[in-house]
Chain A
């Protein structure tokens, strides 16, 4: 599809307000040789019940429908893995369904739960996601991930998804990054920032205290991407529970409003056709007329340098809740930093920066909790969790982890989740002596992007303090 009809561009409407009441997540790690997936999911649901001062049994009494997300049955070697988890969580005989949208699975899972509540079908729905990526050797894991590409046209070519993805990075690097050393360093800054933030997160699988030079000198995976530019391959679980207003206030005094938009684009990058750039509320007609002049080769949209699905998801979500300019209207974001360069592409797709100017979000210091240039709070901190690069990418859980993290900021309870010495000890991790709170002070609205592969599926979730809505219902 290269032209949208008005009906396709209709702004999604929820039939009644939906609230996020609680979230929870397990420890994330590369492998859990002595832990079953259900144990990780129970950890996540127990954390969610603890968060609202209930026992799991008390919280479960509210749940009416269950959505479960895990990307690959192959990884867990268990078809209908959702049914196993559902049973082990003791949620039979409730209606349940599995959701699979690659890297966007976590976001898509709660998108479905939101719609169940918005429609009135359920007053309370569970979204639980996980991934089991440690039960095959890494090269077989790479093969399984490559099966999410087109099995006839792509998978036989190396059985390595990075190859199908990195061609987009190359194009962005050459056209918009102009192969500049300064752009290369900006990419590296993202890795340094996110791995550094992960040091403050006991759940995180990949914390590192590194420098830009460490990133630039790390092993080349697919030039210009190096090992430290790339996300983790993790195991773990995360969940969120959404409710209608009445139920939400029975569970907690502080539920958050939730809005989710979703978009899609071709599974094969090869199939992308030219189209006009769909505009977000903070962009003007003709704004991009000279894009090809400023960045020769950059006039093909979405080409290989943009993610149409992210743009469409943001278009729906922003218009649902009244966001005009994400930098002005939001306080914190968790983005899908699968690779440093795709993180930059996403800044543009969701309107944090105009197309071609993504790098300035990092270079200005706006993306930091504390702006390194001004030493004052950053304008729109990105990925204080550590993101996929520093915290985890347990595919089906990732989008839910991001939403949980945004929630903790708005609830002003980020420290409670990340600081306690006993949690660090329970996870077998050493709390850094320089542990610092990354709580975004005064956060009232935030966003999480959940993104699949080369951009086949993307969800854009926005959470708001109900007293700080932009648009009246």
Chain B
């Protein structure tokens, strides 16, 4: 059962501190567990409802940009690093080799023109708290030789195949500010076929 607005917890940052407001947990009574065969007590349930407060730190720009229809990555621009010129997607705040702060770059156009499926999997299984419709079509997206990593995402329109061209879509309407704001569809998908809230 989704929480009502009154039951939700919200957080702002004010003067460098988290300021929570609303409800962050709802107490639910535990229940005994009996062995029905012996009638004896075996244990208890421990229900718990918690909300974590999590910082994106230097990755915040990535998650904020998704809601604006932009795919941001980072690039090592350190002249003294062997990885210079490497673009990282997933976004890495620091170059993993020289540990210098990497430059934030916009690879939206590159993704639109070059993204293709490196691998994929289709699964009808999910864990608790999943919000994706089943089956989930996981894809790993390669871009070009500049991008040295292979992004994991999901394909929401079309059937996956290795090497197939795909295009990113973004949850620009009512963004969640999570990785769920980025998904992919096969190239050529009409805008009318995109899931609700998503645009190219």
Contacts and interface: CB of A to CB of B under 8 A. Distances in A.
Interface stretch (A22-30, A154-162, A191-199, A244-252): A154-162
Contact of A152 (B56, B140, B149): B56
Contacts of B94: none
B107 interface: no
B136 A160 contact: yes
Interface in A228-264: none
B140 A139 contact: no
Given A3-B82, A77-B46, A156-B180, A268 B152 contact: yes
Interface in A192-240: 220-223
Given A33-B35, A153-B152, A160 B118 contact: no
Contact of B149 (A151, A162, A164, A272): A272
A309 to B, nearest CB: 16
A163 B123 contact: yes
A159 B89 CA distance: 21
Contact of B90 (A143, A171, A271): A271
A33 B122 contact: no
* Residue picked from A2, A151, A153, A171, most chain B C-beta under 10 Å: A153
B84 to A, nearest CB: 13
Contact of A160 (B130, B139, B148, B180): B130
B125 A222 contact: yes
Interface string B180-196: 10000000000000000
A167 B152 contact: yes
B150 A272 contact: yes
Interface in B104-140: 118-132, 136, 138-140
B42 A33 contact: yes
Nearest to A35: B42
B97 interface: yes
Contacts, number: 143
Contact of A142 (B97, B128, B150): B128
Nearest to B152: A270
Given A167-B138, A174-B162, A158 B127 contact: yes
B145 to A, nearest CB: 10
Secondary structure at the B interface, as helix, strand, loop or mixed, is: loop
A170 B179 contact: no
A155 to B, nearest CB: 9
B121 A166 contact: yes
Contacts of B151: 270
Contact of B123 (A77, A160, A171, A174): A160
B65 interface: no
B92 to A, nearest CB: 8
B178 A33 contact: no
B158 interface: no
Interface in A132-189: 137, 139-146, 150-154, 156-164, 166-171, 174
Contacts of B16: none
* Residue picked from A137, A140, A145, A170, most chain B C-beta under 10 Å: A170
Nearest to A34: B42
A77 to B, nearest CB: 6
Interface in B54-72: 54, 56, 59, 63
Nearest to B139: A167
Contacts of B126: 139, 142, 158-160
B102 interface: no
Nearest to A32: B42
Contacts of A156: 131, 178-180
A220 B42 contact: no
B43 interface: yes
Contacts of B199: none
Given A33-B43, A272-B150, A162 B125 contact: yes
Contact of A169 (B121, B122, B154): B121
Contacts of B35: 33-34
* Residue picked from B43, B127, B128, B136, most chain A C-beta under 10 Å: B127
A174 B122 CA distance: 14
B138 A163 contact: yes
A273 B125 contact: no
A304 interface: yes
A269 interface: yes
Contacts of B63: 152
Interface of B: 33, 35, 42-43, 46, 54, 56, 59, 63, 82-83, 86, 88-90, 92, 96-97, 118-132, 136, 138-140, 148-154, 162, 178-180
Sorted from nearest, which 7 A-B pairs have the closest CB atoms? A159-B127, A142-B127, A143-B127, A222-B123, A166-B121, A171-B119, A143-B128
12 contacts: A1-B96, A3-B82, A152-B54, A152-B56, A156-B179, A167-B120, A221-B124, A270-B149, A271-B92, A271-B96, A271-B149, A304-B118
Given A222-B123, A268-B152, A270-B150, 4 more contacts: A154-B152, A158-B126, A167-B121, A169-B121
